[in-house]
Amino acid sequence: MRTTNQWGQDVTTTKPGAAAALDETLMSYLAIGRETGDLLKSVLNTDPDMVMGHCLKGYFFCLMASGSLWTRLPKVLAAANQGLAAATPREQAHVQALTHWADGDQGAAARVWEEILSSHPLDVLALRLAHHAYFYRGAAGDMLASIERVLGAWDEHCPGYGFVLGMRSFALEETGEYSEAEKIGRAAVDLNADDPWAIHAVAHVMEMQDRHIEGIDWITGLQPHWNAANNFRYHLWWHRALMHLDREELDETLRLYDENIWDAESDEYLDLCNDVSLLLRLELLGVDVGERWQGITEKVAGRTGERILAFADCHFVAALAAGGQMQAAYDMAGAMAAAGGIFASVGAPVSNALIAHRKADYASAARLLGEVRGTIITMGGSHAQRELFELILKDAEG
Ligand SMILES: [Fe+2]
């Protein structure tokens, strides 16, 4: 049977209520809500055969960029493919995109999401996933163009309009259009303050413009909204800590690390990147971070074989080296070099540079980072995140 979702798109399901539950799950995903996973479970409990339910599960596994979840993707894809013949062309395209992503080709997935958007500009799932894909390819221009192409189809009556403004704000920020990014980001937050991505976009503008006190006030003032988010909330704490660090309020930075950023239970890649990045920046400023590397190194030790995000892998290597696991760090950098693609061309030299820097081999660190300086952006991450590599290079050049 066919029904329509709240964006007017046909959805294939045999059970009443499943499409509405899927809508609710998507809105929670856009809000980076903690309950997103449970909502998806309720979708699949309502309709265990729903193609888009399984597809969304696969997307969520990919978004987590975790090796253990990646191994479960074939089963999820098989479940999505079960009902494929009866599904709509839009749903079939989503499963195709998931297939590409599961094969490690997020670029091909992005092309499929763009095809979906050309006929369904209100498909906010395709829009958000394309946004993510461009972010992790360092393609800020594509990220902005993707949003601008569909904007004419959206207005404030469309569910999730504020989230689209939030994405537009972040894309503007990453392309350096700071004043427009701030204006759109503030408008997004005015429409819907429960949008951590929009809050985050404006925080990025303030970080890039060295407006640290304003940034701290902005993040702190909206804390009840973003602190309800899933682990992404740690990234907002990280941004606040970064602003204190920029103000050389190092005790406060460390306090935030210990009390609000470090989560002993989490092994999510972004959390690990936040942790590694902040500790390295503190060390560059001469702070002794004590035993703090130990916990990170232990978490990373079990994930050295994952080749999902080169950006994350570089942070993992840095953690291994900082925690004294030099051989494991070398082995991981070697495995990146052998993996080809972006892992070999950018990830491995950056990783080897981070190891060299840890060993106080500053000449090698500077040479390796200097060689990839122009291409490091293709690993993705934000300007603020990639600034770490610039700081290491500057330190190595002494
Ligand atoms: Fe950020």
In this structure, the chain runs to a length of 398
pLDDT at 398 (0 to 100): 86
Q: How far is the CA of 200 from the centre of ligand 1 (A)?
A: 6
Q: How far is the CA of 270 from the centre of ligand 1 (A)?
A: 10
Q: How far is the CA of 312 from the centre of ligand 1 (A)?
A: 14
Q: How far is the CA of 204 from the centre of ligand 1 (A)?
A: 6
Burial 381-393 (b: 16+ CB within 10 A, else e): bbbbbbbbbeebb
Which two three-digit tokens encode residue 190?
A: 């005015």
Measured distance CA(315)–CA(350) in Å, rounded: 10
Does residue 397 sit in helix, strand or coil? helix
Question: Which has the closest alpha carbon to 388: 297, 270, 223, 278?
Answer: 278
pLDDT at 98 (0 to 100): 98
pLDDT at 29 (0 to 100): 98
Percent of the chain with pLDDT over 90: 98
Q: How confident is the model at residue 279 (pLDDT cuts 50, 70, 90)?
A: very high
What's the pLDDT tens digit per position in 26-71?
Answer: 999 999 999 999 999 999 999 999 999 999 999 999 999 999 999 9
What's the pLDDT tens digit per position in 187-213?
Answer: 999 999 999 999 999 999 999 999 999
Rounded to an integer, the average pLDDT of 210-237 is 97
DSSP, res 33? B
Rounded to an integer, the average pLDDT of 138-144 is 97
Q: How far is the CA of 303 from the centre of ligand 1 (A)?
A: 23
What's the pLDDT tens digit per position in 102-117?
Answer: 999 999 999 999 999 9
pLDDT at 390 (0 to 100): 96
Q: How far is the CA of 119 from the centre of ligand 1 (A)?
A: 31
Judge whether 88 and 10 are in contact, CB under 8 Å.
Answer: yes
What's the pLDDT tens digit per position in 251-264?
Answer: 999 999 999 999 99
Percent of the chain with pLDDT over 70: 100
pLDDT at 255 (0 to 100): 98
Rounded to the nearest angstrom, the gap between the alpha carbon of residue 9 and the centroid of all alpha carbons in its chain is 27
Q: How far is the CA of 44 from the centre of ligand 1 (A)?
A: 32
Q: Is the dihedral of CA 328, 334, 338, 339 positive or negative?
A: positive
Q: How far is the CA of 186 from the centre of ligand 1 (A)?
A: 16
Asked if the model's pLDDT at residue 1 lies above 80, the reply is no
Q: How far is the CA of 40 from the centre of ligand 1 (A)?
A: 26
Q: How far is the CA of 267 from the centre of ligand 1 (A)?
A: 18
Q: How far is the CA of 90 from the centre of ligand 1 (A)?
A: 31
Judge whether 23 and 5 are in contact, CB under 8 Å.
Answer: yes
Q: How confident is the model at residue 2 (pLDDT cuts 50, 70, 90)?
A: confident
Q: How far is the CA of 20 from the centre of ligand 1 (A)?
A: 31
**Hey, what amino acid is at 28?**
S
Q: How confident is the model at residue 376 (pLDDT cuts 50, 70, 90)?
A: very high
- C-alpha separations of 284 from 157, 245, 255 in Å: 48, 11, 17
Q: How far is the CA of 227 from the centre of ligand 1 (A)?
A: 15
Q: How far is the CA of 148 from the centre of ligand 1 (A)?
A: 21
Q: How far is the CA of 93 from the centre of ligand 1 (A)?
A: 30
Q: How far is the CA of 242 from the centre of ligand 1 (A)?
A: 10
Q: How far is the CA of 272 from the centre of ligand 1 (A)?
A: 14
Q: How far is the CA of 232 from the centre of ligand 1 (A)?
A: 9
pLDDT at 253 (0 to 100): 98
What's the pLDDT tens digit per position in 340-370?
Answer: 999 999 999 999 999 999 999 999 999 999 9
Judge whether 269 and 232 are in contact, CB under 8 Å.
Answer: no
- C-alpha separations of 237 from 63, 98, 220, 278, 290 in Å: 21, 31, 9, 11, 21
Q: Is the dihedral of CA 248, 250, 255, 257 positive or negative?
A: positive
Q: How far is the CA of 286 from the centre of ligand 1 (A)?
A: 24
Q: How far is the CA of 385 from the centre of ligand 1 (A)?
A: 7
Q: How far is the CA of 17 from the centre of ligand 1 (A)?
A: 36
Q: How far is the CA of 274 from the centre of ligand 1 (A)?
A: 9
Q: How far is the CA of 382 from the centre of ligand 1 (A)?
A: 6
Q: How far is the CA of 47 from the centre of ligand 1 (A)?
A: 36
Q: How far is the CA of 10 from the centre of ligand 1 (A)?
A: 35
pLDDT at 378 (0 to 100): 95
pLDDT at 16 (0 to 100): 87
Residue where the block lists tokens 């993705």:
380
Q: How far is the CA of 296 from the centre of ligand 1 (A)?
A: 20
What's the pLDDT tens digit per position in 87-100?
Answer: 999 999 999 999 99
pLDDT at 81 (0 to 100): 98
What's the pLDDT tens digit per position in 300-332?
Answer: 999 999 999 999 999 999 999 999 999 999 999
User: 11 phi and psi, to 5 degrees?
Assistant: -130, 135
Q: How far is the CA of 116 from the centre of ligand 1 (A)?
A: 28
Assign 3-state DSSP to the chain and report helix, strand, coil percentages, each to 5. 75, 0, 25
2: left (phi over 0), alpha (psi -120 to 50) or beta: beta
Q: How far is the CA of 238 from the centre of ligand 1 (A)?
A: 8
